[in-house]
Amino acid sequence: MNTILVAVEFTVKANSKLVALFGLGALSLLGALGCEPPTQTGPKFLANRVYSLKAGTQNEVELDPTLADIQVVLDEYFGTAAEPKIPKFFADNSDFAQLLDLEKLKRACGADPSIPRVESVYVKNCINCHAWEGSGRGPGSAGVDPYPRDFRAGVFKYKTTVRLAKPLKSDLAKTVRYGLAGSGMGAYDKITETELNDVVEYVVYLSMRGELERKMIDYAATEFDLSANPPTRWVKEEGGKLIVNPEQQETLDGFMEEIATAWHEANNNLIVVAKPTDMPVLEKAPVSWDEVTGNAELLASVNRGKELFIGQAAVCSSCHGPGGLGDGRTTDYDDWTKEWTARINVDPTDAEAVIPFLLRGALPPKTIKPRNLREGVYRGGKTPEDIYRRLRHGIPYAPMPAITTVASNDEPGLMEKDLWHLVNYVLAMPVEPKPWPVAPATPAAPPAPVAEEAAE
């Protein structure tokens, strides 16, 4: 299959008309299949060939030989898909020793002999979309919109921690148990509590493993002398086999400490949600508009939220549309797509330009659709606290920005209380009677990007 893939890749590059023949989705599937020889039996983690090509393109280096070395290191640290293990770096550090539970990992993927692999919780419920390695490129992924999450970036959108922080395991459990409304991520409300905890553990494990892979790819692309003879390598030959290169141990330990510390400190990065006491806040979406108009203070708050929504201070309407129908900016992409397209000057709408990435397993770029708030469907949760978190800290790796509040009305921007006016309006939008606001002749400019560090 690898030989076939090379031939197809060469032919497609030479003749872009094959795009029409194969279709972008078919080429993406070919790329994914090309990573695994037909003789491979049992589960296997596929290398992140898309990210490797992205880093190689960005730095004008060839990374395929290095990517093979990286898989050796990953197997040494995290084990294999058939037999996971806990990195020794974690076990040797008292702060990190409890980050992962090996028994949970084994049960989740079927490495526990008491559970048939096909009946293990991750294999039975997750692998079709997320794949063995958590790439979001499983057999059923191409037909899902938005695409399944790629865990390997270490980023999760819906959580109770600040934008740049890792989620709590309880955040991930909530996503698994209740699903993400309006997406292909269904609610797994029939699995047991043990299975739920096991699969969350496995997702964290895949995320850690994937982050190390990405860090090693980036480091090799920028710091290794790959043109030397011999080139810099992550591994060395010893006794007829490849082992981790001792010269790279300090660098690898640094990466592992960064990854482990981020997960260890998640509890220290919780978003504090303090509801105001001097104004009414809806506890849930109202059943009818009468619930709003029957409370003068609430109606005033909702009207203020509406002003902010369509005005220049919050600029919510630039993406969601003035009527909140999700018909504002509809040509943007999430960061999982941007990192291998726009950020390395690859036009995601240029079919020929994205072919090399599709052949390595990427899925055809899809625009990210702003939420239609009139439907009352919120992926990150529908409580006022959930909506506040999305407004205040945004959604990581998505175009939804964080809002930095100001201390007084004399400063440009939104005050903390304004966020709660917006919360009330968003919750009331599904029952607000028409006519709704319509798009102006010239759409409002998007808000200036806020540095993510400042958003914390």
412: confidence class by pLDDT, cuts 50, 70, 90 = confident
Q: Mean of the per-residue pLDDT values for the chain?
A: 90
Burial (CB count <10 Å: 0-12, 13-18, 19+), residue 132: buried
Low-confidence winner among 13-17, 23-27, 162-166, 287-291 (lowest mean pLDDT): 13-17
**pLDDT tens track for 107-116:** 999 999 999 9
**What confidence score (pLDDT) does residue 7 get?**
35
**What confidence score (pLDDT) does residue 409 get?**
84
Burial (CB count <10 Å: 0-12, 13-18, 19+), residue 8: middle
**What confidence score (pLDDT) does residue 448 get?**
54
Average pLDDT over residues 249-275: 97
User: Which CATH code is given to the segment(s) 290-332+367-455?
Assistant: 1.10.760.10
End-to-end CA distance of the chain: 47
438: confidence class by pLDDT, cuts 50, 70, 90 = confident
* Residue written as token pair 């497609």: 12
- Supply 358's token pair: 């599709």
- pLDDT tops 60 at residue 267: yes
Task: State the DSSP string of 364-429.
Answer: PP-PPPPP-GGGT--TT-SSHHHHHHHHHH--TTSS-----EESSTTSSSEEHHHHHHHHHHHHHG
> 238 pairs with which residues across the strands?
241
**What confidence score (pLDDT) does residue 313 get?**
86
**What confidence score (pLDDT) does residue 12 get?**
44
Task: State the DSSP string of 83-105.
Answer: SB---HHHHT-TTTTTS--HHHH
Q: How far apart are CA 176 and CA 121, in angstroms?
A: 11
Closest CA to 76 of 202, 226, 246: 246
- pLDDT tops 50 at residue 4: no
> Helices 193-223 and 249-264: crossing angle, nearest 10°?
140
Peptide bond into 430 cis (omega under 30): no
410: confidence class by pLDDT, cuts 50, 70, 90 = confident
**pLDDT tens track for 12-70:** 444 444 444 345 555 555 555 444 433 345 799 999 999 999 999 999 999 999 999 99
Cα-based torsion angle of the residue sequence 320, 307, 443, 146 in order, rounded to the nearest 10 degrees: -10
What is the value of pTM for the model shown? Answer: 0.89
> 243 pairs with which residues across the strands?
236
**What confidence score (pLDDT) does residue 209 get?**
98
**What confidence score (pLDDT) does residue 25 get?**
55
- pLDDT tops 80 at residue 5: no
Cα four-point dihedral sign 243, 74, 76, 88:
positive
**What confidence score (pLDDT) does residue 35 get?**
42
Q: How far apart are CA 369 and CA 371, in angstroms?
A: 6
Hey, which bits of 187-279 come out as E strands?
A: 235-238, 241-244
Average pLDDT over residues 407-412: 87
243: confidence class by pLDDT, cuts 50, 70, 90 = very high
Asked if residues 400 and 354 have their Cβ atoms less than 8 Å apart, the reply is: no
**What confidence score (pLDDT) does residue 141 get?**
95
* Residue written as token pair 């890749």: 9
**What confidence score (pLDDT) does residue 24 get?**
54
Domain assignments of the chain as residue spans, ordered by start: 42-269, 290-332+367-455
